[in-house]
A and B are shown apart, each in its own frame.
Chain A
Amino acid sequence: MSGLKYTKEHEWIRVEGGVGTVGITPFAQEQLGDVVFVELPEVGRKAEQGKEIAVVESVKAASEIYAPVTGEVVEVNRGLPDTPATVNSDPLGNGWFFKIRLADAGQLAKLMDEAAYKSFCEGLH
């Protein structure tokens, strides 16, 4: 999957035309187990890189989603709260959380590419 950038908190972001789509990685959904609840930010919310912006929960764990970049939330995956299982079945596709308009594209440079993220996850085992 090219073009994706990753955080140490296991979010991914795909940027197209200054807007990034954000979700959690396959590794993260596997660690969580069956996702039962997601809480999305309101459209228009100003997000700051590394700060809490959404929540994802399984039966036995709750995890904050941190904004991978600073910017404004421009769209959320409205259907997701009703079908949280999508986060498990299609984390990189239909299981996306929200879209954010980047304030500073330069922040992407601080994130990991796929190879770096892969070796980061292997180091966690």
Chain B
Amino acid sequence: MRYLPLTEVERRAMLARIGAPSIESLYRDVPEFARLPGPVDLPPHQGELGVEREIGALAAKNMGSAAVPSFLGAGAYRHHVPAAVDHLIQRGEFLTSYTPYQPEITQGTLQYLFEFQTRVCLITAMEVANASMYDGATATAEAVMMANRVTRRKRAVLSGNLHPHYREVTATHARFLDFHLELGAPDPVGAEDLISRIDADTSCVVVQNPDFFGNLRDWRALGEACHKAGALLVVVVTEPVSLGLVEPPGAMGADIVTAEGQPIGNALSFGGPYVGLFAAQEKYVRQMPGRLVGETSDADGKRGWVLTLSTREQHIRREKATSNICTNSGLCALAFTIHLTLLGEAGFTRLAEINHRAAVGLAERLDALPGCRIVNGSFFNEFTLALPMPAADAVEALARRRILAGVPVSRLHPNRPEFANLLLVAVTEYASEADQDALVAGLKETVHG
């Protein structure tokens, strides 16, 4: 076995020093009935080539989004990731390092996480950020629980235009921690009134920008209403590239910001692993979940970084911890931060502009198709297209022509027949002119076929 260095001769010598006759004898604390006499009923070991063939065959049964024109979004976005990103994150010193609990020999991880925290603060215009969560959905659920702790209230208002997965994950936690959620109804034009739902028991209002249907919203008035009532404003961002062009949540009065970091630096990878971003105003830092890296100095006075404020966390606070999270998304945070470093201010803002221009151009063309209509007034790089037929059927038909046309709203809101014809279309820098032509032509034929 290529991953096991011990030879039979060495095993015998080691057993002799231990004074045990066999490896099996070391399992003497396991009751006899539970010891398997031999290997379980699964195939035997194989070399690299065999494994590559087997997994390669499974990969070949899929239609990779890189191989075809793709307009998929709804919370996961494919952007071009510079080659240096994947190379650097695969350096063994990053890839195969543990959580930086020994700061003397993990300054590399600690420094990039400190830089990551700073970047998350900069793009969201918030004061503090943690070292990452699992993904945007779990980060959002944690934000609601944090708002409950900060305000000592147990009723959160969730916008109807929050990504359904984010709502569902939060609802799962609400069920078990016995807090109450008031769920707004989804509204494709993004005109819902949330201010009237705030009262003295409201811990927070959770909104998304751009929202699930792609609409951009100004949440300043909502933020003011929240603060007047002693509630927090939580703003969710599922496409962080938008922050290169759009007013950030911190400028709208957000108290907590959560986001999905995947679109920057990370592969689609069928939904995971992704990276949850979590930022807040500094006065709430002791109620934050997850790890935090802070600056300090060593015994020689040199600047360095450590994990800090750890008494919030499970390994110290146990049942009183702010969250049970331990492992987060360190390496995905590294990919995020390297990609943002390569972009820089100039590249990041330009990338956002390119995305928006491409989306505006395609939206105009699709809006001009007979029977088709863009629902949104405003959007960043994703919009909702109303079709004259069920969107799921159109998507299937186009997939047969090797075009991934978008995400049918019905996939995420199956119980709302009024949304059956709505299609979410995302446009990134990957969508070439030829790809856009293919979508326009394909849709035209499909809806009138």
Contacts and interface: CB of A to CB of B under 8 A. Distances in A.
Is there any pair of Cβ atoms, one from A and one from B, under 8 angstroms apart in the complex? yes
Interface of A: 37, 57-62
Interface stretch (B15-23, B69-77, B310-318, B421-429): B310-318
B430 to A, nearest CB: 47
A83 B320 CA distance: 25
Contacts, number: 15
Contacts of A59: 310-311
Nearest to A56: B311
A59 B317 CA distance: 12
Please provide the 5 A-B residue pairs with the shortest distance between their CB atoms, ordered closest to farther: A62-B311, A57-B311, A62-B317, A62-B316, A60-B316
Contacts of B316: 60-62
Contacts of A37: 286, 311
A79 to B, nearest CB: 19
Interface string B331-370: 0000000000000000000000000000000000000000
A65 B320 CA distance: 14
Interface of A is mostly: strand
Interface in B276-328: 286, 310-311, 316-317, 320
A62 B311 CA distance: 6
A62 B320 CA distance: 10
A57 B322 CA distance: 15
A60 B316 CA distance: 7
Contacts of A61: 311, 316
A58 to B, nearest CB: 8
Contacts of B311: 37, 57-62
Contacts of B317: 62
Contacts of A60: 310-311, 316
A37 B317 CA distance: 14
Interface string B245-259: 000000000000000
A59 B294 CA distance: 13
A13 B317 CA distance: 26
Contacts of A57: 311
Q: Which of A37, A58, A59, A60 has the most CB of B within 10 A?
A: A59
A63 B320 CA distance: 11
Given A37-B311, A60-B311, 13 more contacts: A37-B286, A57-B311, A58-B311, A59-B310, A59-B311, A60-B310, A60-B316, A61-B311, A61-B316, A62-B311, A62-B316, A62-B317, A62-B320
Contacts of B310: 59-60
Nearest to A58: B311
A59 B310 CA distance: 7
Nearest to A59: B310
15 contacts: A37-B286, A37-B311, A57-B311, A58-B311, A59-B310, A59-B311, A60-B310, A60-B311, A60-B316, A61-B311, A61-B316, A62-B311, A62-B316, A62-B317, A62-B320
A59 B103 CA distance: 14
B417 to A, nearest CB: 52
A27 to B, nearest CB: 20
A57 B309 CA distance: 9
B72 to A, nearest CB: 45
A37 B310 CA distance: 12
Nearest to A63: B311
Nearest to B321: A62
A37 B294 CA distance: 15
A61 B310 CA distance: 9
A49 B317 CA distance: 23
B59 to A, nearest CB: 46
A59 B320 CA distance: 16
Contacts of B320: 62
A37 B312 CA distance: 12
A125 B310 CA distance: 27
A32 to B, nearest CB: 11
B292 to A, nearest CB: 13
A60 B308 CA distance: 9
